[in-house]
Amino acid sequence: MRRPVTPFDMMPTSCAPCEIAHAFAHEPKSIVSCVDRIREPHDVGVVDTAPHRRGGAIIWRGAQLLLVIVLTGATCSATRALSLLPDQRSGDVTADLRVAARWSAEPDPFGLGTGLHNGLEVAVAPDFAAMLQVTTLEDVALLQDRIRAAFVAWETPELQFGVDFARVPVEGTNAGFEVDLFAVPASHPIFAGTNFFGYTSVQWQRARIRRLTNGQRLDGLVTTGADIYINANSLLELAALLAPENRPDAIQRLLMHEIGHAIGLGHPNTFSDMNTNYDTNVDPFDPMPIDPRDPFALLVTSPNRNAQAIMSNDRARLGRAIFFTVLQNDDRGGRDVLYPRAQFCLGDCAGDGQVDIADLVSATGIALGALALPACPNADDDRDGSVFVDEILRAVRNALDGCLNQPAAELWSGRAATPADVEPQVTAIACGGG
C-alpha cells in the first residue's frame, strides 16, 4: 500500500556515513579467494546498522552487462550466523530478538497502511535502468528479471513482495511505497562522503502491540518503510573485472543483500559490544530450524560464522560468494526468526511445509539421543524437550499424507493494535549498506 506523506517525511532519510579507514583509491582492487568453510571465533555481540562500502557494481553498455565486484584485503575469515536491526544488546537473548524491527503481519498501528497483510509493495525508479546505462529492450528485461529474482529469493508464504515497474517511488522512508528502489548519482546526499555501492535506509516505530507472522503479539519495533539506493556512478566507474556470465548473478546478490537490510537483517561481520551473533548451535554452516511456535526459544549466542552469507559485506572474505543467488542457511534462519511460519507441521525440520526422509532421520536421531533438539525442534510436538515414538509416527504420517497443519501460535492478545498502542517519540531511522 502506498505510504502517505506524513510529518515523518520531514525527518532526514539517511544516516551519517561510517568513517572510511583508507581512501578507496589506495585500496587494492582484486578478488580474493577464500576457503569455502571457515570457522573463526569472535566476540559475540545484534547488528551494525551503519553503512559499509558495497562489494558490487553494475554497468550496462549496449547489449553487454559489465558488473564489477571489488574485494580488498588478503585474509579470509568468516561472518556471524544471524544479526538483526537495530543495534541492541540487553543481555537477554529472547528480549532482544522479540523487540527487533520487522514488518507487521497486519496493517501497522500508525495509520500508514504498511505491513505484510497484502504483501510489501515495491516500486523501482523509472530511470533505474537508464542510470545504469541499460538501453536495449533485452537488457532492460534481463535487469528487471534479476530485480524480481532478488526479492523472490527472500520470500515465504508469510513474507511476500509485489514488484511493479510501473510504480513511481518517492524518496523518504515514510513516503512512496513500502520498499522503494533507486539508482542515483554519486552526488546524491545519501552517498555524500562515501564510496558505497549500495545503501538502505530503514525506518521503524515502536508499538506496544504488533502481530508477528506466526500470530503472536509482542511489544517491539515495527518497520514502516525502506529505501534502497544503488550508486550508479561508482558502478559505472568500476567495470569489466568479471566474466560476462557471472555479472547477472553478482548484481542479484548485491540486491539480495540490500533487501535483507529492508526486512530487518544487518551486517553480521561487524563487531562491537552491541552486536550479537545468534544461532541454534555453534555450527554456522548447518541449517537453522526455527520452531514457528516460539521462534526465539532455541537461539543462543555463537562465536562461529559463515563467511559466505548473503548478508556479509566483508568484500575481502567473500570469495566466490559474490555470485551466490541462493540464501545461505544463516540468511534463512534470520528471515525465519523475524518472520516465522504461520502454520506448524510436526516433523517439518526445514519449515518448508513438508516432511521428507531427511526430516525423519533428524527426528529419529533426536529420539535416540544422537542429535540435539535444535536439529529439528518441529519434531517435538508437546515441547517437552524430547522426541518420542508417537511423535515420530505422526511425523511419518505427515510425510505420507502431507502436513496436517495447525496454527503456529495462539494470539497473545485477541485485539489488533491501534494508535493507542504507539509509544510517542520512538520513530527512528537506521541505515544499512554493504
Q: Are strands 198-211 and 217-231 parallel, antiparallel or unpaired?
A: antiparallel
Q: DSSP H helical segments within 369-432, as ranges?
A: 389-401
User: CATH number for the domain including 387?
Assistant: 1.10.1330.10
DSSP, collapsed to helix, strand or coil, labels residue 422 as strand
Q: φ, ψ for residue 425 (rounded to 5)?
A: 55, 50
Whether residue 347 is found in the same domain as residue 253: no
- Identify the band that residue 418 occupies on the pLDDT scale cut at 50, 70 and 90: low
Contacts of 188 (CB under 8 A, 6+ apart): 229, 231
Whether residue 85 is found in the same domain as residue 234: yes
Contacts of 299 (CB under 8 A, 6+ apart): 82, 93, 94, 97, 278, 279, 280, 337
Cα–Cα distance, 374 to 24 (Å, whole number): 43
Q: How many residues does the chain have?
A: 434
DSSP secondary structure string for all residues of 231-293: EHHHHHHS-S-S-GGGHHHHHHHHHHHHHHHHTTB-BTT---TT---EESSS-SSS-----TT
- Identify the band that residue 411 occupies on the pLDDT scale cut at 50, 70 and 90: very low
Q: In the predicted model, what is the mean pLDDT of residues 343-360?
A: 85
Whether residue 170 is found in the same domain as residue 202: yes
**Higher pLDDT pick, 425 / 2:** 2
Tell me what percent of the chain is helix, strand and coil, each rounded to the nearest 5: 25, 20, 55
Q: φ, ψ for residue 225 (rounded to 5)?
A: -175, 150
Bond into 86 cis (ω within 30): yes
User: CATH number for the domain including 168?
Assistant: 3.40.390.10
Whether residue 223 is found in the same domain as residue 326: yes
Q: Are 98 and 222 in contact (CB under 8 A)?
A: no
Whether residue 185 is found in the same domain as residue 73: yes
Q: At what angle do helices 389-401 and 357-368 cross, to 10 degrees?
A: 180
- Give which of 182, 270, 277 is closest to 230, Cα–Cα: 182
Whether residue 281 is found in the same domain as residue 371: no
Beta bridge partners of 182: 229
Residue 125 reports pLDDT greater than 50: yes
Q: Are 78 and 302 in contact (CB under 8 A)?
A: no
For the entire predicted model, the pTM comes to: 0.74
- Give which of 364, 370, 371, 367 is closest to 399, Cα–Cα: 364
Count other C-beta atoms under 10 Å from residue 328's C-beta: 21
Where is average pLDDT lowest: 23-32, 101-110, 292-301, 312-321? 23-32
Where is average pLDDT lowest: 61-65, 225-229, 310-314? 61-65
Residue 78 reports pLDDT greater than 60: no
Whether residue 376 is found in the same domain as residue 281: no
Residue 49 reports pLDDT greater than 80: no
Q: In the predicted model, what is the mean pLDDT of residues 317-331?
A: 86
DSSP, collapsed to helix, strand or coil, labels residue 416 as coil
Q: Are 429 and 173 in contact (CB under 8 A)?
A: yes
Q: In the predicted model, what is the mean pLDDT of residues 396-402?
A: 88
- Identify the band that residue 407 occupies on the pLDDT scale cut at 50, 70 and 90: low
- Give which of 193, 164, 204, 159 is closest to 181, Cα–Cα: 164
Q: Are 55 and 234 in contact (CB under 8 A)?
A: no
Cα–Cα distance, 425 to 428 (Å, whole number): 9
Residue 24 lies inside a defined structural domain of this protein: no
Q: Are 70 and 315 in contact (CB under 8 A)?
A: yes
Residue 263 lies inside a defined structural domain of this protein: yes
Count other C-beta atoms under 10 Å from residue 94's C-beta: 13
pLDDT confidence of residue 378: 80
- Identify the band that residue 81 occupies on the pLDDT scale cut at 50, 70 and 90: very low
**Higher pLDDT pick, 259 / 394:** 259
Whether residue 243 is found in the same domain as residue 374: no
**Higher pLDDT pick, 275 / 426:** 275
Residue 21 lies inside a defined structural domain of this protein: no
- To which residue does cell 526422509 refer? 357
DSSP, collapsed to helix, strand or coil, labels residue 65 as strand
Amino acid in position 389: V
Q: φ, ψ for residue 241 (rounded to 5)?
A: -95, -10
Residue 25 lies inside a defined structural domain of this protein: no
pLDDT confidence of residue 59: 33
- To which residue does cell 519495533 refer? 221
Average model confidence (pLDDT) across the chain: 73
Residue 141 lies inside a defined structural domain of this protein: yes
Residue 2 lies inside a defined structural domain of this protein: no
- Identify the band that residue 426 occupies on the pLDDT scale cut at 50, 70 and 90: very low
Residue 46 reports pLDDT greater than 90: no
Residue 195 lies inside a defined structural domain of this protein: yes
Beta bridge partners of 30: 71
The structural domain count of the chain equals: 2
Whether residue 57 is found in the same domain as residue 165: yes
Cα–Cα distance, 50 to 18 (Å, whole number): 6
Whether residue 380 is found in the same domain as residue 312: no
Residue 384 lies inside a defined structural domain of this protein: yes
**Higher pLDDT pick, 254 / 71:** 254
Whether residue 225 is found in the same domain as residue 365: no
pLDDT confidence of residue 14: 33
Q: HSE-up of 242 (CA within 13 Å, CB side)? A: 31
Q: HSE-up of 316 (CA within 13 Å, CB side)? A: 10
Whether residue 387 is found in the same domain as residue 282: no
Residue 52 reports pLDDT greater than 50: no
Residue 38 reports pLDDT greater than 60: no
**Higher pLDDT pick, 85 / 266:** 266
Provide the residue range defining the domain that includes 374: 343-407
Q: Which tens digits make up the pLDDT trace of 352-396?
A: 778 999 999 999 999 999 998 888 888 888 778 889 998 899 899
- Identify the band that residue 256 occupies on the pLDDT scale cut at 50, 70 and 90: very high
User: Among positive and negative, which fits the CA dihedral 375, 259, 278, 194?
Assistant: positive
Residue 200 belongs to what H/E stretch?
Answer: strand 198-211
Q: How far apart are the first and last CA of the chain?
A: 28
Q: DSSP H helical segments within 68-179, as ranges?
A: 93-99, 128-131, 137-152
Q: In the predicted model, what is the mean pLDDT of residues 168-196?
A: 92
**Higher pLDDT pick, 231 / 51:** 231
Amino acid in position 178: E
